[in-house]
Amino acid sequence: MNYTLLNFIILIYIGLIALMGYLGYRRTQSAGDYIVAGGDVNPFVMALSYGAAFISTSAIIGFGGAAGAFGMGLLWLTFFTIFVGVFIAFVFFGKRTRTMGNNLGAMTFPELMAKRYQSSFIHIFCGALIFVFMPLYAGAVLIGAARFLETALNMNYLTALIVFTVLIAIYVTTGGIKGVMYSDALQGSIMFLGMAFLLIYTYNKLGGIAEAHTALSGMESLIPQKLKAIGHQGWTRMPVFGSKLWWVLISTLVMGVGIGTLAQPQLAVKFMTVKSGRSLNRACLVGGVFIFAMTGVAFLVGALSNVHFFNTEAKIAVAAAGGNMDTIIPLFITTAMPQWFSYVFMVTLLAAGVSTLSNLFHAMGTALGKDLYEQTAGKRKGASKHTILFVRVGIVVGILVSLFLGYQLPISIIARATAMFFGIAAAAFLPMYMLGIYWRGTTRAGAIAGMVTGTFSALFWLVFIKAAEAGPLGICNAIFGKPFLIETHPWPVVDPILIGLPVSLIVTILVSLFTRRSEQSHIDHCFEGI
């Protein structure tokens, strides 16, 4: 290991991040600056910030590793992340969110929903949901970074986890969202260059694009019996239609994350940080290219790593990684790439992890400070001056809980934990959010009913029906004496998003049709300029 080179690369990286945090800190004067960056962020910064917040170590390490095990079917998620996560999000959600956010003076996603529907219950419920469930996603992102540090530096996993967490804690508590967005833009640029090199080097190493794909197709006979039994047909083929693996791939990984991205509070808040619709148009261009370079490369390289491991160790990727999908990408980088690149890639991953986590911790902090504290105890006269203090307390608590989860969660968990959070967020928030910015007739009662039924139907599905989660949780077993309630295929492998989201959407529409609308003047105010 070349410690001089490694230390040099890390020092440059930390120096740049510290500079970005400092610039953000210098330009943060008010709560508005701290939370939505005063609403005047440059579109390039916004797009890279959105992209860097969206794409984390979870996408690169977790989902890249899933592609190593399940194959190129993950490319459907690349399509969803670009088409839904960028194009639909920016063009159909971004502008309306920005305008309505401005009209209502909202600073967080829960606040936007609460003001649209004039409901403090929505404010508190959204804030609580974010504060309780987001650590699951943050924990998964932490694992991704720590697994890489563990593999690349031969470091103890717990030490890697703590070192990485401390790095994030240093600047996220100081700079507010401006610091977060500046460093995100820098991290996004590092990530883009790192991933571009990774793709070119991988194809080159494996003899070219067509040669690499052909070699991977020729490995079908090496699929383990366990994976074959659930529908695996090869790394360049989709699983058998309707098989267990097909449902996991399509409903959990592709739909859960691909659609769930629309209702991510830490991403929706980015729309409220730009000054015009024009900025969002420009950001769409940058974002589309960026996400393509991130998820496309991670999933292709993940699948292709099988060829490398077969050529060098006569093993498939998941076997070379000791059965842990989460270490496939770290192992591939450290064994297949030049040493200098594994150090640079480590910085790329640190960048990806830091940028997403800082946004998640920022969202958790504002959930506690602005959404929960201000709406409850903070309503007392004079107490609102403590908001930023509570935001910071929320960040620290979020960091500690995520650190705990990062240590406790089992192996091969990153993609699943991410999809779980995305699914819950989609079921709870998406219908209320989408209808709230498009349909004037959505009522407060409709939004509350949809949000609550969406949340609880998704949670019910996780705890009592979906085998992968219900089994380990053990609640179903304790109550009914069996690990999950329905054993008929495909229900135990259907993701909660396919249940919670339609239920929530139907309930929101039906209840809205039969309940009283808000005052016309309020609706006009919300939709002014839309």
Partner 1 sequence: MFGLEDWSIILAYLLSALSAVLCIVYGAINWNKD
Given the rule CB under 8 A, which residues bind partner 1?
72-73, 75-76, 78-79, 82-83, 86-87, 90-91, 209-214, 216-217, 236-238, 276-278, 281-289, 291-292, 296
Which of residues 53 and 347 has its CB atom nearest to partner 1 in the complex? 53
> What gap in Å lies between CA 299 and CA 61, rounded to an integer?
9
**Residue among 238, 260, 261, 235 at smallest CA distance from 250:** 238
User: Exposed, middle or buried, 398 (CB in 10 Å: 0-12/13-18/19+)?
Assistant: buried
Handedness of CA 195, 201, 202, 208 (dihedral sign): positive
Which of residues 73 and 500 has its CB atom nearest to partner 1 in the complex? 73
DSSP result, 45-82: HHHHHHHHHHS-HIIIIIIHHHHHHH-GGGHHHHHHHH
> What gap in Å lies between CA 333 and CA 311, rounded to an integer?
15
Nearest distance in Å: CB 52, partner 1: 16
Query: Which residues, at least 6 apart from 466, have a Cβ–Cβ distance to it below 8 Å?
Result: 484, 492, 493, 494, 495, 496
Which of residues 133 and 290 has its CB atom nearest to partner 1 in the complex? 290
Which of residues 215 and 357 has its CB atom nearest to partner 1 in the complex? 215
Which of residues 276 and 515 has its CB atom nearest to partner 1 in the complex? 276
> What gap in Å lies between CA 418 and CA 144, rounded to an integer?
11
Which of residues 9 and 88 has its CB atom nearest to partner 1 in the complex? 88
> What gap in Å lies between CA 362 and CA 352, rounded to an integer?
16
Max CA pair span of the chain: 70
Q: How many CB atoms lie within 10 A of CB 32?
A: 15
Which of residues 218 and 322 has its CB atom nearest to partner 1 in the complex? 218
Nearest distance in Å: CB 222, partner 1: 17
Nearest distance in Å: CB 296, partner 1: 6
Half-sphere exposure of 197 (CA within 13 A, CB side): 16
> What gap in Å lies between CA 92 and CA 179, rounded to an integer?
27
Nearest distance in Å: CB 86, partner 1: 6
Instruction: Check: CB of residue 477 under 8 Å from CB of residue 464.
Output: no
Give bridge partners of residue 250 from the DSSP assignment.
Answer: none
Show the tokens assigned to 234.
Answer: 């090869």
> What gap in Å lies between CA 351 and CA 366, rounded to an integer?
22
Query: Which residues, at least 6 apart from 117, have a Cβ–Cβ distance to it below 8 Å?
Result: 432, 436, 442, 443, 444, 447, 448, 518
Nearest distance in Å: CB 224, partner 1: 20
Instruction: Check: CB of residue 309 under 8 Å from CB of residue 316.
Output: yes
Nearest distance in Å: CB 384, partner 1: 34
Give bridge partners of residue 41 from the DSSP assignment.
Answer: 274
Instruction: Examine residue 338 and say whether the peptide bond preceding it is cis (omega within 30 degrees of 0).
Output: no
Nearest distance in Å: CB 40, partner 1: 15
Handedness of CA 17, 22, 23, 27 (dihedral sign): positive
Which of residues 217 and 384 has its CB atom nearest to partner 1 in the complex? 217
Which of residues 32 and 277 has its CB atom nearest to partner 1 in the complex? 277
Nearest distance in Å: CB 210, partner 1: 4
Q: How many CB atoms lie within 10 A of CB 376?
A: 14
Nearest distance in Å: CB 29, partner 1: 28
Which of residues 133 and 299 has its CB atom nearest to partner 1 in the complex? 299
Which of residues 153 and 248 has its CB atom nearest to partner 1 in the complex? 248
Owner of token pair 């640029």: 189
Nearest distance in Å: CB 238, partner 1: 5
DSSP result, 253-283: IIIIHHHHGGG-HHHHHHHTTBS-HHHHHHH
Which of residues 115 and 282 has its CB atom nearest to partner 1 in the complex? 282
Show the tokens assigned to 218.
Answer: 């020729």
Nearest distance in Å: CB 486, partner 1: 28
Which of residues 282 and 466 has its CB atom nearest to partner 1 in the complex? 282
Nearest distance in Å: CB 181, partner 1: 19
Show the tokens assigned to 335.
Answer: 């064994």
